[in-house]
Amino acid sequence: MSVSREIIVYCNTFWTFYNAQNKTVQKKIDFVIGLVQELEIVPAKFLKHLKGTDGLYEMRIKVGSNIFRVFCFFDEGRLVILLNAFQKKTQKTPEKEIDKAMKLKVAYYESKE
């Protein structure tokens, strides 16, 4: 299977979260990242645009009854930038997590200039 997208991590926020998870959660996160990387059309079950945001997406990971989200966005079409991640404990995505992701996205573009 050929790779459709390149995935990079911006800052250490994602790695801090990832490294704090157990191996089962890490494997599922790796699986979903692999889907985003390889599939031309990723099912909304695994990747969904967040309404009301400027191009922010969430990778959706479920392990047992636990739900995790990894925020990301597309840069230059086929480049996916991973930002922050968190364990979702309520139905609604917390605004502070969305704000954190949006600030990281702005910082990413500022660092490119």
> So what's the pLDDT on residue 79?
86
Which residue reads 């392990």 in tokens? 63
Pick the CATH number of 6-112 from 3.40.800.10, 3.30.2310.20, 3.30.420.40, 1.20.1260.10: 3.30.2310.20
How far is the C-alpha of 27 from the C-alpha of 89, rounded, in Å? 20
> What average pLDDT does the segment 106-110 reach?
94
Mean pLDDT of the chain: 92
> What average pLDDT does the segment 95-111 reach?
94
Segments making up each domain of the chain, as ranges: 6-112
How far is the C-alpha of 66 from the C-alpha of 22, rounded, in Å? 12
Torsion of CA 28, 64, 61, 21, to 10 degrees: -60
How far is the C-alpha of 59 from the C-alpha of 33, rounded, in Å? 8
Report pTM.
0.91
In tens, the pLDDT along 13-34 reads: 999 999 999 999 999 999 999 9
| CB burial of residue 111 (10 Å; 0-12, 13-18, 19+) | exposed
- Decide if pLDDT at 1 tops 70: no
- Decide if pLDDT at 78 tops 90: no
How far is the C-alpha of 62 from the C-alpha of 2, rounded, in Å? 26
Which percentage of the chain shows pLDDT scores above 90? 79
